[in-house]
Amino acid sequence: MKTICFYFQIHQPFRLKRYRFFDIGNDHYYYDDFQNEEIIRRIAERCYLPANRTILEMIKNSGGKFKVAFSISGVALEQMEIYTPEVIDSFKELAATGNIEFLSETYAHSLSSLGDIEEFKHQIKKQEDKIYTLFGVKPKVFRNTELIYSDDISEAVYEMGYRGMLTEGAKHILGWKSPNYMYASCVRPDLHLLLKNDKFSEDLSERFTDYSWNEYPLTADKFISWIASTPESEQVINLFMNYEVLGSLHSASSGIFDFFKALPQYAAEKNIGFSTPSEIFKLMKPVDCLSVPYPMSWVDEERDTSSWLGNVLQQEAFRKICEIGERVRMCEPRRIRQDWYYLQSSDHFYYMSTKHMGQKGFSPYDNPYDAFNNYMNVLSDFIVRVKAQFPETIENEELNSLLATIKNQGEEIEALQKELDKAKKRQSKKEK
């Protein structure tokens, strides 16, 4: 029996305000609150809330047969808590059905897997804690920012305890192979992989409202018939996309919600089911191992990481923020830690890409150079604040040793204080 695995990505960065060179050292607040609130409220109204209602209706009308997975970045969840708490409530209502799965990812939707593995692992743990706090579940399956994956990343994910991961079914990796099977990491064969089916996913995410497409309009029965016509041995169709496909990238007037509502009925007629990633990992076995020596993603024709690190501007900005990771993780002030996460969101580097110049809407800046200058001004101020905590003259190794000594001394003092308290109690009893 074939099964469809739906996974939706949800992420919103904390966008930066216009931050001038002369603000460095004088202004430590970096965010455009008006823009951040306006955008997430608009998307919540157009997408998150109506889409969640649609999925809840689909689950109920299908008798609990429709299932779906979500990966919501920690910084997106923070914005929902601040500006649209009703969205959090609607996800809790979905979670109560038992038919959705929350995946793990990097808390900041960051590129840390490409430059700072310790930060990568730290953010995974923070994301796990956030999901558990809000929804009472611990994620069992991992998906990296923008489905970025490589052999080295799979090693780190495996070490974090995961045995299932989602990624891109890139043609330059698969070759003649089909994405409609389960695979495994070549360096960690116990880490199993589900790969995005590009064609079927992009029929929905990109071509659904394309009037020039020769298959327009796309109907639910036509779409399900395409899936049913795949070879019988191909048992899993992975449809991975941005959640904004529902209501934002394709407006409600396009019929996208009605299309989705009709999917369970036509799938049942073709004996096609729906499964969460965890269910598939339990039921299926990998057919082969995949070797991915260089990172791949689900973005652009190249399916690589050049949209974030493809030019010298992006590489310099990424190098600078990775350099201070070790010191930031030792900082105590909550505001520094919070800014650290917000500044790592991959969006800031995407805005610096020269590949997308001329495309309207994807960036709040006029051009990649403005994006770079603004980000580097903010980062310069942030670095000053970090150095104020731990001067640059102290090497990281020396700093680690010093902090370890202070920690050990603190624990020793605490233990001695407990012994002293016990001795005082004993003495008090003797005197009585």
User: Rounded to a whole number, what is the distance in angstroms from the first to the last CA of the chain?
Assistant: 79
Q: State the average pLDDT for the chain.
A: 93
Whether a cis peptide bond, with omega within 30° of 0, leads into 364 is no
pLDDT in tens, 117-167: 999 999 999 999 999 999 999 999 999 999 999 999 999 999 999 999 999
In DSSP terms, 16 is beta-bridged to: 31
What's residue 339's pLDDT? 98
* Annotation says 301 is catalytic: no
What's residue 419's pLDDT? 78
pLDDT in tens, 24-35: 999 999 999 999
Residue 408 has pLDDT above 90, yes or no: no
pLDDT classification of 331: cutoffs 50, 70, 90: confident
Q: If you search the block for the tokens 């090693």, which residue do you land on?
A: 155
Task: List the single range of 165-169, 299-303, 417-421 with lowest mean pLDDT.
Answer: 417-421
What's residue 393's pLDDT? 58
pLDDT classification of 399: cutoffs 50, 70, 90: low
Residue 431 has pLDDT above 60, yes or no: yes
What's residue 396's pLDDT? 57
The answer to whether 373 and 24 have CB atoms below 8 angstroms apart is no
Residue 322 has pLDDT above 80, yes or no: yes
What's residue 406's pLDDT? 55
Q: What is the DSSP string of 22-54?
A: GGTTT----B-HHHHHHHHHHHIIIIIHHHHHH
What's residue 23's pLDDT? 96
**pLDDT average, residue stretch 93-113:** 98
What's residue 409's pLDDT? 64
Q: For the beta carbon of residue 388, count every other beta carbon within 10 angstroms.
A: 11
Residue 404 has pLDDT above 70, yes or no: no
Reported pTM: 0.90
Q: In this prediction, what percent of the chain has a pLDDT beyond 90?
A: 85
Q: CA–CA separation, 185 vs 170, rounded Å?
A: 15
Q: Which two tokens mark 195?
A: 């790969």
pLDDT classification of 403: cutoffs 50, 70, 90: low
Calculate the CA 218 to chain-centre distance.
29
Amino acid (1-letter code) at residue 133: T
pLDDT in tens, 189-225: 999 999 999 999 999 999 999 999 999 999 999 999 9
Q: Which two tokens mark 239?
A: 């449809």
**pLDDT average, residue stretch 269-297:** 97
Q: CA–CA separation, 405 vs 411, rounded Å?
A: 10
- Among residues 119, 146, 168, 244, which one is catalytic? 146
Q: CA–CA separation, 184 vs 154, rounded Å?
A: 10
**pLDDT average, residue stretch 353-378:** 87
pLDDT in tens, 54-75: 999 999 999 999 999 999 999 9
Query: Residue 206: what are its φ and ψ, rounded to 5°?
Result: -115, -35
What's residue 395's pLDDT? 59
Q: Which of 325, 334, 368 is nearest to 348 (CA)?
A: 368
What's residue 33's pLDDT? 97
Q: In this prediction, what percent of the chain has a pLDDT beyond 70?
A: 94
Within 8 A by CB and 6+ apart from 248, the residues are 43, 46, 47
What's residue 430's pLDDT? 74
pLDDT classification of 420: cutoffs 50, 70, 90: confident
Residue 378 has pLDDT above 90, yes or no: yes
**pLDDT average, residue stretch 406-428:** 73
**pLDDT average, residue stretch 357-367:** 77
Q: For the beta carbon of residue 84, count every other beta carbon within 10 angstroms.
A: 19
